[in-house]
Chains A and B, each alone.
Chain A
Amino acid sequence: MNSIKELFLSKKKNLLSIYFTAGFPQINSTCKILDELIKNGVDLVEIGIPFSDPLADGPSIQKSSEIALKNGMNLSFLFEQLIQYRKKSIQKKNQIPLILMGYFNPVLQFGIEKFCEKCNEAGISGTIIPDLPFDEYNKHYWKLFNKSGLKNIFLITPQTSEDRIKEIDKVSEGFIYAVSSASTTGNFLKIKDDTNSYFEKLNSMKLKNPVMVGFGIFNRETFQKACRFANGAIIGTAFINSLRTNKTLKSDIKQFVEKIR
């Protein structure tokens, strides 16, 4: 069974997912960060594929992508790292679902078929490709992803219509990524009281998929608030900001996760 599905069957509340950009702060940080996140009990990890023009991201993730690219990170190298990591982690038996998150153009240039095969080889369970629209995915790419056992996760926002949410819920597997407010990533001021009505609407719709809330989650308070309405929450920017150098990763990550949980 797909490990994302397995996770949500075994745990329904307070799931913590962490996003980080591959190749940041240094090119060899990827596996170290993964190790520490797993050790500290994170439920799900989203590994960001750096892109030169990240349209939906705020300054922090933009900057981390820029540095990652300067460090020489690309998809081929990331897959190499992840395939190596998988071999070790199978021995250690410390596996959690891994999701690759990135913009469509680097995936397209890598080759969709090859991308799916490599994901499979690297033990990736799902993908989030924000600028690959729902219709386009269903029409052209669904079969390839499915063949590799990949669950593609779709975003919904407070502006998404109920009909479209239902449509997305119908074809989604894994979970639905509920963007908390109209914003790019890393805007911590936007989660306000009116966000509640959007979360309540989602709750009342009785979606078949679990819901994870992302964007604007940065501390224990916002994490808990999101968890009241959803199965869990996703933290990206605040985590990226907490990483200082490669040497301090271990303590940075331990501290960060402890502050949230």
Chain B
Amino acid sequence: MGVDKKGFFGDFGGAFIPEMLFPNVEELQKNYLGIINSSQFIKELSVLLRDYAGRPSPLYFASRLSNHYKTRIFLKREDLNHTGSHKINNTLGQILLAKKLGKTRIIAETGAGQHGVATATVCALFGLECVVFMGEKDMKRQKPNVERMKMLGAKVIAATCGSKTLKDATNEAIRDWISNPGNTYYLIGSVVGPHPYPDMVAKFQSVISKEIKQQLKEKTGNENPDYVLACVGGGSNAMGAFYHFIDKPKSKKKKKVNLIGVEAAGKGINSGFSAATTALGTEGIIHGSKTILMQNSDGQITEPHSISAGLDYPGIGPQHAHLFKTKRAIYPSVTDNEALKAAFLLAKLEGIIPALESAHALAYLEKLYAKEKETVVVCLSGRGDKDMETFLAMMDK
């Protein structure tokens, strides 16, 4: 189920980019595997992940949540990483790569600001100039993260076109890259964009499922759970959590893992205010790759809606599109309200405030009906500090 030489996962992927980006993308395509598979790179990255990011992140048995849902629930605590989400796994990897390629200026897009903060962080760490593009709407609803990026020395530029969210921030980042081809590295935050980004980001995030396997084996004696749940905007934490479970086990004794990517239904799939891409989307091209996206019959990209800025995106990564089409994973969705409820439930039962994005994965536990003896791993991709304003507004109601 891996990527082919042209950057396709089955029917999806590729590099549908204007010629202006060709030299940059080709440079990455030709070099990324050689660099990230070299023993020196692996060593440097693993030290950073351990000593700087705080990996491995714990796999926590959530006993009260398990009692509530009458099943066995483990939370993969990506919220405990430095910067507060899984995004640091990818930014550490890509900043090392950018260094090796001799780049001096880093640009990134961000939705919830988690990737922006993680990028600003590694740029500070390596002393590189950092410019983050963020939708104007998202800058308002994720203000704490805007302030963090600024304190870390990044320049945050508002994307003011279209829906003023992640899609538009990505457009602006690509335009900047077109205009600065020499010194600039585009540090994409999700498993989207032209080849090799979807594959590369998945590889950097695959540490999540690698650790889940080891930790679950220690805790339960079985490295494979029955279900893995993760939220999907572009889908980087989900791809990281799925990665080592995608191929079916060779031994019949081992279980096949059910992979569930939870999308944001917004105000409801048919409300006109939704970001449930697989439910509402069709095949097409967005941000340089062929995938499933929300669009009208003329091929104009639809403005999505989700309460969660990180999931407010009209596409999904091409590998997710492939897993969806081949039915290896399913992609249900939960609404804004269901996600909010799940966030409050986790706070109450486990003393953990999740990010609104991760709350979507948690909300699906209501609909999963897992059996008592089954094991469910939920990727808790980020913490909810950035969402306090939204949570407080909910409490006032």
Q: Which residues of A contact B (CB under 8 A)?
A: 51-53, 55-56, 58, 62, 66, 69, 74-76, 104-110, 130-134, 136, 154-157, 159-161, 164, 179, 182-184, 187
Contacts and interface: CB of A to CB of B under 8 A. Distances in A.
Contact of A75 (B14, B171, B298): B298
B301 A53 contact: yes
Contact of B167 (A53, A106, A131, A187): A53
B300 A106 contact: yes
Contacts, number: 98
Contacts of A108: 284-285, 299
Residue from A104, A182, A187 having most chain B Cβ neighbours under 10 A: A182
A110 B19 contact: no
B178 A104 contact: no
| Candidate in A62, A105, A134, A183 with the most chain B CB atoms within 10 angstroms | A105
B179 A182 contact: yes
B181 A133 contact: no
Given A55-B18, A62-B161, A179-B20, A105 B286 contact: yes
B19 A179 contact: yes
B273 interface: no
Interface in B121-176: 161-162, 167, 171, 174-175
Contacts of B19: 130, 133-134, 154-157, 160, 179
A217 to B, nearest CB: 16
A109 B171 contact: no
A127 B284 CA distance: 19
B91 interface: no
B299 A110 contact: yes
Nearest to B302: A52
B295 interface: yes
Given A55-B174, A131-B288, A159-B181, A109 B20 contact: no
Nearest to B14: A136
Interface in B12-31: 14-20, 22-23
A41 B78 CA distance: 64
Interface in B60-119: none
A87 to B, nearest CB: 25
Given A105-B285, A107-B299, A136-B14, A183 B22 contact: no
Nearest to B282: A109
A243 B17 CA distance: 30
A52 B162 contact: yes
Contacts of A51: 299-300
Contacts of A187: 179
B297 interface: yes
Contacts of B20: 56, 155, 157, 159, 179, 182
A234 to B, nearest CB: 15
A13 to B, nearest CB: 25
Interface of B: 14-20, 22-23, 161-162, 167, 171, 174-175, 178-182, 282, 284-288, 295, 297-301
A104 B16 contact: yes
Contacts of A155: 18-20
Given A52-B162, A55-B18, A105 B178 contact: no
Given A53-B167, A161-B23, A74 B298 contact: yes
A154 B178 CA distance: 16
Given A131-B16, A160-B22, A182 B180 contact: yes
Given A53-B162, A108-B299, A130 B18 contact: yes
Contacts of B284: 105, 108-109
Contacts of A55: 18, 171, 174-175, 178, 287
Contacts of B15: 133
Contact of B178 (A107, A156, A182): A182
Contacts of A130: 18-19
A109 B298 contact: yes
Interface centre among B15, B16, B182 (most CB of A within 10 A): B16
A131 B178 CA distance: 13
A52 B300 contact: yes
Contacts of B180: 182
B139 to A, nearest CB: 19
A105 B23 contact: no
A159 B18 contact: no
Nearest to B20: A157
19 contacts: A52-B300, A55-B171, A56-B18, A74-B298, A104-B16, A105-B286, A106-B298, A106-B300, A108-B284, A108-B299, A109-B282, A109-B298, A110-B299, A130-B18, A134-B19, A154-B19, A155-B20, A156-B19, A182-B20
Contacts of A104: 16, 285
B4 to A, nearest CB: 14
A159 B23 contact: yes
Given A55-B171, A104-B285, A131-B17, A183 B179 contact: yes
Contact of B175 (A66, A76, A133, A184): A184
Among A53, A110, A161, A183, max chain B CB count under 10 A is at A53
B16 A133 contact: yes
B195 to A, nearest CB: 11
Residue from B20, B282, B286, B301 having most chain A Cβ neighbours under 10 A: B20
A74 B299 CA distance: 9
Nearest to A52: B300
Nearest to B285: A105
B163 to A, nearest CB: 10
Nearest to A75: B298
A259 B20 CA distance: 30
B210 to A, nearest CB: 34
- By Cβ-Cβ distance, the 8 closest A-B pairs, closest first, are A109-B299, A106-B299, A155-B19, A52-B300, A130-B18, A74-B298, A105-B299, A56-B18
